[in-house]
Structure 1
Amino acid sequence: MKPTALALAASALPFLASPAAAQSLYVTAGKLLDVESGQELSGQCILTDHGKIVRIETCGAVPAGAERVDWSAYTVLPGLIDLHTHLADVTESADTAAPIKTSPQATALIGASHAWATLRAGFTTVRDVGTYRGLTDVALRDAIAAGWVPGPRMFVAGGYITTPGGGGELNGVMPNDQLPPDMRLGVSSTPQETRAKAEYLFDHGVDFLKLIATGAVLALNTDVNAPELTEDQMRAAVDVAKAHGSYATAHAHGAEGLKAAIRAGAHSIEHASLIDDEGLQMARDKGVWLVMDVFNGDYIDETGTAEGWPEEALQKNRDTTLAQRERFAKAVKMGVKIGYGSDAGVYPHGLNARQFAYMVQWGMSPLQAIRSATVDAATLMGKQDEFGTISPGKSADIIAVEGDPLKDVRVLESVSGVIKQGVRYR
């Protein structure tokens, strides 16, 4: 592990000694943003207890036993949700061998520092969509849930279901069959193997499955246009997920692999960089969500070029960045369902909110962008009754920002207050 990563991981350790407990809070909001209606309400207070929102009311005396949180100078809105993160992994760099140089134990500790940065940035829930060190995300999720380390609520995939040498493999470091077993938990060549790998992942605690339908921008020796998992393999995985009361999401850049994933029953598509008109129509008609990371192409180009990332990856990024944004704009106009996913881990964790401005630039209203990271993201995960809005009975996930995000969505890039499940972290 790099010294800087060790230092970051150590920054989370003080929380290990005293897990936070939810208190009853009485939160005074300057403006309260109702993400469903788009209304901003003044003079409202939120009462929480045992990690849940009890009621929203005109501010009055602080109820007995509650602690007052004075956010009267801020706009208050639900905790944010990022549907595409990689907390339990090393951050992308020029060293393509970094994941194998980092032990599973060190990876989990690095993940703890990533989780803390993400929570402080206002993201109280994430869907972590894969790690090279399989199941480290399960361990991190469980540590956060137990209160051992601070971080967002996590839903995890455990690893990548991918073809040998595909976009979910650590290619170009050594012969793939010599990689450690925990880095190949989902590698499969037939529908039968895919079904078995999917069952293994659910048996070991994952929440959903991540399918690699096409090559990847940052995976060496893969073609973003080329289909990888077959439609039958993906259908087998989807069937397993449904049997476990869950779903599968598919990484897909190229149009043909993406459409195969939709036909196979994928619930959502990650990236969708080169989706064609037929694919957009299929997604809209079947209610398939698109999770398009329209920010990080700039980061890859600027930082990757400066740091000497592999030229193959940089060129694939150049080939897909503008194309993805143009297709995002078309998807917005067509009314395709879009969830907020940043691909944090390609860039430093904690910068997740930088994508909001890109979504607005490419066709969304500020409210649409905010909804994609709150109520819509919760709906994608089937958790809309648990979180995603500030409503009685839902989890007390609440953030505060200076300014009005409906006028300048970039204010979400600098969060002033964070409450997750009734515990104040900022």
Structure 2
Amino acid sequence: MKKYAYTNGKILDGTRNMKVKEGLCVLTEGDKITGLVPADKIPAGCEMVDLQGGYLMPGLINMHVHLAGNGKPQKKQRDNEALTKKLMGSALSRAVTYRVVAGFAKTELMSGVTTIRTVGGLGDFDTRLRDEIADGKRVGPRILAANRGISVPGGHMAGSVAVAADSIEAALAQIEQSEKENVDLIKLMITGGVLDAKAKGVPGELKMAPEMVKAVCEKAHKKGYKVAAHVESPEGVKVALANGVDSIEHGAKADEEMIRLFQEHKAFLCTTISPALPYALFNRSVSNASEVEQYNGNIVFDGIISCAKAALENGIPVVLGNDVGCPWITQYDFWRELYYFQKYVGVSNSFALYTATGRSAELAGIGDITGTITPGKCADMIVTEGNPLEDLRYLRHVRMVVARGNMIRDPKVKINETVRAELDKFIN
């Protein structure tokens, strides 16, 4: 197995109170980190990799990804169910779509994200791609995959990246199917979202009955699966937590009851500021949002931020995802979620980086595999020009990505200039 010594770099190890470590080299062999040693202690047989003063840290972990989308802005809402039927309707269209999905995963990696958690995808594409990447047949990040989520008729993403279960029996049957596909977790769509609401003030309307949530969680837990849930209202969060959901995706304005439920059930929050920001803060002439969508976007945006603040104040674990695939949210811009977490929730740069590395690995159940620069863990690393503890914008362009020991120098991604220009207005 190839041995490398990463020299002349400054190390950020991904732990809670990380500080810059200088004068040490990171040793790897194959896909593992084998040591952190002074330059004069590098063992023979290592190939030297000069980082030229760059900052080496764990690869980022994006905990909320939909690999079926590219984030391209839309002038009007798409019929996602009809589009999915078209994409998955023939062997040829499925093959082309799978190739596109694999390309999106590669883009995640090239942007510095070495692990993703997918929470709603097309067919069994996510688990299939996960295995091909792990076997070295494709280039991409480590994937924790849910494949298709479970929704209800008329529910969030029903018929596209989620199955519309019209009964508890149908929802439980989908768990059986997910088990056959060897998923890593189960995803529920409990409430609607910003674009589902037809009136002002009702984003995140409860769609899935509490009885269905409970039945799914009980069966999933018996099979050893954690359950993540899309929820964007206080009622939805409480229903999810009270009935066994393990992670709340997005969140809503918190109160004492919600905090108590989080704590009692030892659940965590996946904060997703990125997808709500365009609907809340963009001029409608740019976002193409209706007045109702912008109004509801503000409710969700404020609720997600409020929930994150309340969670941190009450010792509830938080991770980050950018809901990639939503309009304006690309497969290469996860760094923005860290920036928004710092800007709007008020955490330090160090805590934001820790949240997207060591903390996420721990809560995803892979803390023994990745997330920190620690001997024995996987060599999942990135290198930046400057210090993200001083400015998170240094994560925007990574000089190097190392995924399971495989080194990629000067990785490139194709940028959507319209998206970049509009989102950069919110980067100070």
TM-score where L is the length of structure 2: 0.85
SS of aligned partner of 1:404: coil
| Alignment match of 1:60 (pick from 22, 29, 40) | 40
Specify whether residues 225 and 274 from structure 1 end up closer, same or farther in structure 2 by C-alpha distance, changes over 3 A only.
farther
1:27 aligned partner: 6
SS of aligned partner of 2:130: helix
Opposite residue 247 of structure 2, the aligned amino acid is: S
1:267 aligned partner: 246
Q: Please give the residue correspondences for 1:253-292 in structure 2 after superposition, counting only pairs within 5 Å.
A: 253-292=232-271
SS of aligned partner of 1:236: helix
1:3 aligned partner: none
Higher mean alpha-carbon deviation, 351-360 vs 211-220, is at 211-220
| Alignment match of 1:204 (pick from 157, 181, 190) | 181
Name the CA distance, whole Å, in 2 between partners of 1:93 and 1:220. Answer: 19
1:249 CA drift (Å): 0.5
1:38 CA drift (Å): 1.4
SS of aligned partner of 2:2: coil
Q: Please give the residue correspondences for 1:8-87 in structure 2 after superposition, counting only pairs within 5 Å.
A: 23-36=2-15, 37-60=17-40, 62-87=42-67
Specify whether residues 240 and 89 from structure 1 end up closer, same or farther in structure 2 by C-alpha distance, changes over 3 A only.
farther
Opposite residue 218 of structure 1, the aligned amino acid is: L
1:32 CA drift (Å): 0.8
Residue pair 1:419, 1:425 contacting (<8 A) in 2 also: yes
Specify whether residues 140 and 311 from structure 1 end up closer, same or farther in structure 2 by C-alpha distance, changes over 3 A only.
farther
Answer yes or no: is 1:372 the counterpart of 2:355: yes
Name the CA distance, whole Å, in 2 between partners of 1:417 and 1:69. Answer: 11
Name the CA distance, whole Å, in 1 between partners of 2:193 and 2:184. Answer: 23
Answer yes or no: is 1:316 the counterpart of 2:296: yes
Q: Please give the residue correspondences for 1:114-125 in structure 2 after superposition, counting only pairs within 5 Å.
A: 114-125=104-115
Name the CA distance, whole Å, in 1 between partners of 2:50 and 2:124. Answer: 40
Name the CA distance, whole Å, in 1 between partners of 2:379 and 2:176. Answer: 33
Name the CA distance, whole Å, in 2 between partners of 1:388 and 1:29. Answer: 22
Opposite residue 326 of structure 1, the aligned amino acid is: S
Cα deviation digits, residues 156-215 of structure 1 (max 9, x gap): 111120111101315xxxxxxxxxxxx486321332222111111111221110011111
1:88 aligned partner: 68
Residue pair 2:70, 2:324 contacting (<8 A) in 1 also: no
SS of aligned partner of 1:34: coil
2:169 aligned partner: 192
Specify whether residues 254 and 92 from structure 1 end up closer, same or farther in structure 2 by C-alpha distance, changes over 3 A only.
farther
2:325 aligned partner: 345
SS of aligned partner of 2:150: coil
Residue pair 1:88, 1:136 contacting (<8 A) in 2 also: no
SS of aligned partner of 1:73: coil
| Alignment match of 2:149 (pick from 118, 139, 160) | 160
Cα deviation digits, residues 289-318 of structure 1 (max 9, x gap): 111111332234539752635665444323
Gaps of at least 5 residues in structure 1 are: 1-21, 171-182
1:255 CA drift (Å): 1.0
Q: Please give the residue correspondences for 1:122-161 in structure 2 after superposition, counting only pairs within 5 Å.
A: 122-131=112-121, 133-161=122-150
1:267 CA drift (Å): 1.1
1:219 CA drift (Å): 4.1
Cα deviation digits, residues 33-57 of structure 1 (max 9, x gap): 1322312210111111120111111
Cα deviation digits, residues 6-60 of structure 1 (max 9, x gap): xxxxxxxxxxxxxxxx732211252111322312210111111120111111123
1:179 aligned partner: none
1:221 CA drift (Å): 5.7
1:324 CA drift (Å): 2.2
Specify whether residues 311 and 25 from structure 1 end up closer, same or farther in structure 2 by C-alpha distance, changes over 3 A only.
farther
Name the CA distance, whole Å, in 1 between partners of 2:286 and 2:97. Answer: 25
1:407 aligned partner: 390
1:19 aligned partner: none
Specify whether residues 300 and 138 from structure 1 end up closer, same or farther in structure 2 by C-alpha distance, changes over 3 A only.
farther
SS of aligned partner of 2:306: helix
2:426 aligned partner: none
Name the CA distance, whole Å, in 2 between partners of 1:386 and 1:63. Answer: 24
1:374 CA drift (Å): 0.9
Name the CA distance, whole Å, in 2 between partners of 1:305 and 1:296. Answer: 17
Specify whether residues 203 and 364 from structure 1 end up closer, same or farther in structure 2 by C-alpha distance, changes over 3 A only.
same
| Alignment match of 2:309 (pick from 325, 329, 341) | 329
Name the CA distance, whole Å, in 2 between partners of 1:421 and 1:23. Answer: 12
Using the aligned pairs only, state the percent identity: 30
TM-score where L is the length of structure 1: 0.85
Cα deviation digits, residues 197-255 of structure 1 (max 9, x gap): 11111112211100111112234669533222222212222223223322110110111
2:100 aligned partner: 110
Opposite residue 338 of structure 2, the aligned amino acid is: F
Name the CA distance, whole Å, in 1 between partners of 2:381 and 2:310. Answer: 32
Gaps of at least 5 residues in structure 2 are: 88-92, 410-428
Opposite residue 134 of structure 2, the aligned amino acid is: A
1:16 aligned partner: none
Specify whether residues 147 and 234 from structure 1 end up closer, same or farther in structure 2 by C-alpha distance, changes over 3 A only.
same
Higher mean alpha-carbon deviation, 262-271 vs 82-91, is at 82-91
SS of aligned partner of 1:299: helix
